[in-house]
Chain A
Amino acid sequence: MKTIDLELEIWRQKDTITAGQFENYTLKSISTDMSFLEMLDVLNEKLTREGKEPVAFDHDCREGICGTCGAVVNGIAHGPEPGTTLCQLHMRHFASGDTLVIEPFRSRAFPVRKDLMVDRSALDRIIQAGGYVSVNTGGTPDGNSTPIPSATAELAMDAAACIGCGACVASCPNGAAMLFTGAKISQLCLLPQGQPERRERALAMVTTMDSEGFGNCTNERECEAVCPKGISISNIARMNREFVKASFLG
């Protein structure tokens, strides 16, 4: 089994109001088969045995589908491997002797709760503002009664692949949440079920996004580059069109 030794510099912060700082750790004989989060588990076991506070970090499914995990590794959200969440980043991508600087996702809208854990409920509030369809109860409609062109369905599915991890916000030089909001608006506005609330949705979600303290998009394309699900900035262009249409045509 191949193993590597690592130097870690991890952001430690007691709570939201206490100032944080970086702390250095050395880990030896880390299996290259481990995921990044398993490597942090090993660190936490070591810290616990030493009677120290383990590093708090978000995680849930560890399969790259839930969007719970996330940290900035050496300046890149979810680490250096493209199209990957932090839990699916494996230690074989690092070399023995590497120094890894691990920081929480940083944005005014994502306050640090503890160490690498951030509060991403601002994204939930954008969804609450309009990221849904209102469906009346009743019998299930026949699937074939709402035909959707295959290409449109694919675009909607591509947008729906967003897992809401917040890496787009973390990587954007302006801390903007436009890729997330653009994907959520796109997945619904492309489909027939999303049409009745199309205009209200675009207005409400963009207004909430602005009020949550995210920055303004300046088309830097960093979000697209780090997105673990490969969400395209064409979704931002679609959101721009949706918002302009909703504003001018009501």
Chain B
Amino acid sequence: MWFVNFLKSSIGKKSIMAGTGLCLFLFLCSHAAGNATLFSSVSLFQAYADQLHSHPLIVSVFSTGLFLVFAVHATTGTLLFFQNRKARPQGYRVKTRAIKTPWASMTMIYSGLFILLFALIHTAAVSFGDHGRIGETIATLFSSFFYSSFYIFSFLVLALHLSHGFWSMLQTMGANHPRYTLLIHRLTYIVPAFFLILFTSIPLLFFFGTGR
């Protein structure tokens, strides 16, 4: 009962967002590491994919877990969005923000839903495709201007989402201490920039024909 009460509380819901956010962040790290093999060659990436899919139990456990984490993160985020709208039934005539850069925090629900759309398209095109020819699928997909542009735009949205989400996750987990403030402030820029550069390089690599 105490656990249900915790989850239903405002801080409990924040903790769900932070906990699932951390899982998704760790997934992004592992995904980025796998993708980095494409900088070497398509055949190395294909070997990595083959190795991964030679352990069907691990793949099914992790993909089901990832799906659940994603679903909980998206559902709780949407629930919070609607609950928070109700907390101020009548808004202000003048809508001014006191902080200078509210764009990422203001657009979390929209950037989040866009990432959900991207994830659906990406999994349909790649994850549920032929794993034995995944390297070729990637190379063909990214040689298309439309697909490359869509992916690059999605990575920009992901960076925007992370620029608030990463810091917000640490704040919710109570990681707010003067000794680490500067490091956390820097990571707020470094983490989204890292993923943006790494993920964006791959479609660019293939679009400009430099991918092997």
Contacts and interface: CB of A to CB of B under 8 A. Distances in A.
B86 interface: yes
Interface string B48-82: 00000000000000000000000000000000100
A175 B99 contact: no
A217 B10 contact: yes
Contact of A173 (B11, B84, B172, B177): B84
B124 interface: no
A176 B84 CA distance: 8
Given A76-B98, A237-B171, A175 B88 contact: yes
Contact of A233 (B90, B91, B164, B176): B176
Nearest to B86: A108
Interface stretch (B101-109, B132-140, B151-159): B101-109
Interface in A166-209: 171, 173-176, 178, 206-207, 209
B87 A108 contact: yes
Interface string A227-246: 00000011011111101100
B201 to A, nearest CB: 30
A22 B88 contact: no
Given A103-B94, A173-B106, A239 B87 contact: no
Contact of A219 (B3, B89, B105): B105
A213 interface: yes
A1 to B, nearest CB: 29
B3 to A, nearest CB: 8
A114 to B, nearest CB: 15
A55 interface: no
A19 B84 CA distance: 22
B173 A240 contact: yes
Interface string B154-186: 000000000010011001111111000000000
Nearest to A227: B98
A247 B80 contact: no
B149 interface: no
B10 A220 contact: no
Contacts of A176: 10, 84, 87
B92 A244 contact: no
A219 B168 contact: yes
B87 A247 contact: no
Contacts of B84: 173-176, 215-216, 218
Nearest to A75: B96
A221 interface: yes
A217 B14 contact: yes
28 contacts: A9-B93, A72-B92, A74-B96, A77-B98, A106-B92, A108-B88, A109-B87, A206-B10, A215-B10, A215-B86, A216-B14, A216-B80, A216-B83, A218-B80, A218-B84, A218-B105, A219-B168, A220-B99, A221-B99, A221-B105, A222-B98, A237-B171, A237-B175, A240-B15, A240-B174, A247-B2, A247-B3, A247-B6
Interface of B: 2-3, 5-6, 9-15, 80, 83-84, 86-99, 102, 105-106, 108, 164, 167-168, 171-177
Given A101-B93, A106-B91, 12 more contacts: A75-B92, A76-B96, A103-B94, A175-B84, A175-B88, A215-B86, A219-B105, A219-B167, A219-B171, A234-B176, A240-B173, A247-B2
